[in-house]
Amino acid sequence: MNETARPRAILHVDMDAFFVSVELLERPELIGEQVIVGHPAGRSVVLSASYECRALGVRSAMPMSTAMRLAPQATVIEPHQEQYRLASRRIMSIFRDVTPAVQQLSVDEAFLDVTGSLRRLGSPPRIGQSIRDQIRSELSLPASVGIAKNMFVAKIASTRAKPDGMLVIRPDETVPFLHTLPVSALWGVGQRTGEVLARAGIHSVRDIAQTPPATLGKMLGSTGAKLYELAWGRDERAVEPVREEKSIGAEETFAEDVRDPDVLHTEFLRLAHRVAERLRRAGKLAGTVAIKVRYEDFRTVSRSRRLPQASSSAVALAESATGLFDALWRDGDAIRLVGLRAEQFSGGAGVQFSFERSDANWESAEAAMDRIRDRFADSGVKPATLLNRPAGGARAPEEKSDG
């Protein structure tokens, strides 16, 4: 078979309970126990849960109060985001050693098109198992792999391979495999769409495949035609190695409403450092800063401002963010959530340096902190202003991890 006629070989690799798995490297005595990663109080949400907790109904993004009612014996571990980011970078590096066609979906999940690597590395199952073995050997972390002829089926396969497994769906097995599944397995079928289909007596992927597209269209509009194609295993989308980010942001939901503007200024500085580090790692400079403020009554306000000079300095981002916030602040306000987002990117080259400490000098200092954290993940290095100042304690997951 020539190269052009060869079916595509797509892998979907998803780490298993990623945040929990990383934490257990330091807490091996908790392996096999009920473990939840998240902040234990207030409006906190679950960032990740061990499979022992998932068996009790605990899920990512669930309120911690609900999770603790379902799993009262669980050990709650505060998240260590820098450790997760460090592990993620090593995992993605392993993927890119296999193929340049890597589409990262989140901190712990990616599609790989290994079609061009088959002659060099062997069959898709061999490649998939090699990736799992390397991640286990180098990071001591479990990963699940789904292998199929397209992205859609590979994603389903990895989900059904969990935990710590691999499932291969060969091209000629694709339709029979799909037709054993419920409609909820298809992308685009949420609760509401599922209810519409159920009222029409459509409960399985096979039922969708046997329903005329025109009928599905009348029920679901353009979604109907897409579901019909998926029900027959048709998904020709290509793995996109580079997905250009249009913005980079971070948010904090407070355990209790905050009425002190000084506390909010500190929080904007914390968020600015999280965003600025991601900008520097992406080689980007932000031209615009935007903030989001949510009040106790859930009223939400957004404001943005163009920076005098594009920057990846947390100090520059924080100064603009606090200026925007101060223009909104009124005595007596109670704030539930604040967010900061960098937008209007430009490349990191050709920066016009300045003698102002908020410009090049701050960027150099912050880049030095990046290098220290890369080498010593537990260093805890941060600006003095943020030392011994915990975050709000109800952080929603900024990067997906529910594997």
CB atoms within 10 A of CB 96: 15
CATH superfamily of 247-386: DNA polymerase, Y-family, little finger domain (3.30.1490.100)
The reply, when asked if residue 260 is annotated as ligand binding, is no
Structural domain 179-231, CATH architecture:
Orthogonal Bundle (1.10)
Q: What is the CATH number of domain 1-170?
A: 3.30.70.270
What residue type is 113 in one-letter code? D
* pLDDT value at residue 289: 97
| Catalytic residue IDs | 109
Q: What are phi and psi of 400, to 5 degrees?
A: -55, 135
Three-class secondary structure of residue 107 per DSSP: coil
Contact 358, 320 (CB under 8 A): no
Domain boundaries, the chain: 1-170, 179-231, 247-386
pLDDT, tens digit (0-9, with 9 covering 90-100), for 281-334: 888 899 999 999 999 888 999 999 999 999 999 999 999 999 999 999 999 999
Average pLDDT of span 274-280 = 91
Q: Structure tokens of 94? A: 């392993």
The reply, when asked if residue 14 is annotated as ligand binding, is yes
Closest CA to 206 of 237, 236, 227, 235: 227
Nearest-angstrom CA–CA distance, 307 and 284? 14
Contact 139, 88 (CB under 8 A): no
* pLDDT value at residue 3: 45
Q: Which H, E and C letters describe 226-239, residue by residue?
A: HHHHHHCCCCCCCC
For residues 39, 45, 48 and 51, what is the CA-based torsion angle, rounded to 10 degrees?
110
Residue 2's pLDDT band (boundaries 50, 70, 90)? very low
